[in-house]
């Protein structure tokens, strides 16, 4: 018998008790007459219109074992389902898929582990203090005057795909040169009203190159606005004496920045947007020169509205 919800069952029983025939009720509710017949028979002999419970597939694990699976993976987030299946108490063997199915029903899924920086208590306390101090920043009075800057590295060949089964079959192997075949490091800065040019950083960045080739020609024009503040992280070229003296000599107000706190910088998500645009291109750049040209084009194509939205997310980041 097809399953009827409670309102339809009560409607059918009311019609039958009012004197309608089973065929009339079936046509009115657009169900089969046998469904109405069985519903009426169950109500007359059992006094209830609810369907009888169905047995279904027997459970493999007990409720205690289900709790063990859940608690184990909440405590050990990187433990595999196969280890849990072998270590399940009770002496009964279960499949790995049974463990996965139970974890999925509780909202726990397999994810690639995020690789982050090693944070000490001092780093955490500094980030918390900075966030509390700047949580009440408003766009009109504070955030709109900050120039957020950073460097990022883009590879010639980006590979981020996984294939299930036939892992080493020749047709399933995505051949790629080591380290992505090389890449380009770029510097950029964003504000609420504009952005800098995208600057290529050839070789290893040092303080002299940072001052002469990046800050002086590209950052200072953005910092000419009243009340402008400059943000850069605590990389060695940024905190070198040559850099700090240059910024002080040009009356640049530098925003204090906690160490190892990339999530606070909205330009990090601008790099993500730039990377997505680069990967969406039909023809990948074949060399570093064309890679940088493609990055410049996509950097200019990012809407200013997108950058404003990232800067407006600072309270949520804090």
Average pLDDT of the chain is 86
Burial (0-12, 13-18, 19+ Cβ within 10 Å), 147 = buried
Residues 39 and 12: beta-carbon distance below 8 Å: yes
Please tell me the predicted confidence (pLDDT) of residue 10.
87
Please tell me the predicted confidence (pLDDT) of residue 202.
85
Give residues with Cβ within 8 angstroms of 3, minimum separation 6.
51
| Paired tokens of 184 | 């380009």
pLDDT above 60 (res 258)? yes
Tens digit of each residue's pLDDT (9 = 90 or more) over 79-124: 889 999 988 887 778 899 999 998 998 888 887 777 777 889 999 9
pLDDT band at 263 (very low <50, low <70, confident <90, very high): confident
Tens digit of each residue's pLDDT (9 = 90 or more) over 200-244: 998 889 999 999 999 999 999 999 988 899 999 999 999 999 999
pLDDT above 60 (res 262)? yes
Name the DSSP class of 160.
-
Please tell me the predicted confidence (pLDDT) of residue 162.
44
Domain boundaries, the chain: 6-46, 63-105, 127-317
Most confident region among 40-44, 74-78, 132-136, 190-194 by mean pLDDT: 190-194
| Paired tokens of 182 | 């090389």
pLDDT above 90 (res 7)? no
CB atoms inside a 10 Å sphere around CB 250: 14
Residue with tokens 């060399």: 287
Tens digit of each residue's pLDDT (9 = 90 or more) over 301-317: 999 999 999 999 888 88
Tens digit of each residue's pLDDT (9 = 90 or more) over 265-302: 999 999 999 999 999 998 889 999 999 999 999 999 99
Please tell me the predicted confidence (pLDDT) of residue 161.
46
| Partners of 185 in the β-ladder | 153
| Partners of 184 in the β-ladder | 154
∠ at Cα 109 (106, 114), nearest 5°? 135
pLDDT band at 179 (very low <50, low <70, confident <90, very high): very low
Tens digit of each residue's pLDDT (9 = 90 or more) over 29-53: 888 888 888 888 888 887 777 776 6
More confident residue, 33 or 143: 33
CATH of domain 127-317: 3.30.420.10
């Amino acid at each position: 018998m097809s399953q009827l919800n409670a309102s339809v069952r009560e409607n059918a029983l009311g019609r039958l008790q009012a004197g309608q025939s089973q065929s009339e009720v079936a046509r009115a509710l657009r169900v089969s007459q046998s469904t109405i017949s069985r519903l009426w028979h169950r109500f007359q002999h059992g006094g209830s219109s609810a369907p009888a419970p169905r047995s279904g597939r027997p459970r493999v694990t007990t409720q205690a074992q289900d709790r063990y699976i859940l608690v184990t993976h909440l405590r050990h987030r990187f433990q595999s389902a196969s280890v849990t299946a072998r270590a399940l108490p009770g002496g009964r063997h279960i499949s790995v898929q049974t463990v996965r199915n139970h974890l999925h029903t509780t909202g726990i899924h397999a994810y690639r582990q995020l690789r982050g920086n090693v944070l000490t208590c001092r780093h955490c306390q500094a980030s918390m203090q900075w966030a509390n101090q700047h949580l009440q920043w408003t766009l009109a009075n504070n955030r709109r005057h900050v120039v957020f800057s950073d460097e990022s590295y883009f590879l010639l060949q980006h590979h981020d795909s996984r294939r299930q089964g036939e892992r080493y079959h020749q047709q399933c192997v995505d051949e790629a040169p080591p380290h992505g075949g090389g890449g380009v490091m770029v510097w950029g800065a964003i504000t609420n009203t504009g952005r800098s040019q995208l600057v290529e950083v050839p070789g290893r960045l040092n303080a002299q190159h940072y001052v002469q080739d990046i800050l002086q020609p590209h950052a200072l024009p953005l910092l000419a606005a009243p009340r402008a503040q400059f943000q850069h992280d605590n990389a060695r070229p940024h905190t070198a004496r040559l850099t700090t003296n240059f910024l002080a000599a040009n009356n640049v107000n530098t925003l204090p920045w906690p160490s190892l706190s990339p999530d606070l910088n909205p330009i990090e998500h601008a790099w993500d947007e730039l990377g997505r645009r680069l990967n969406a291109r039909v023809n990948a750049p074949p060399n570093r020169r064309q890679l940088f040209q493609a990055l410049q084009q996509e950097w200019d194509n990012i809407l200013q509205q997108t950058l404003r939205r990232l800067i407006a997310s600072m309270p949520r980041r804090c």
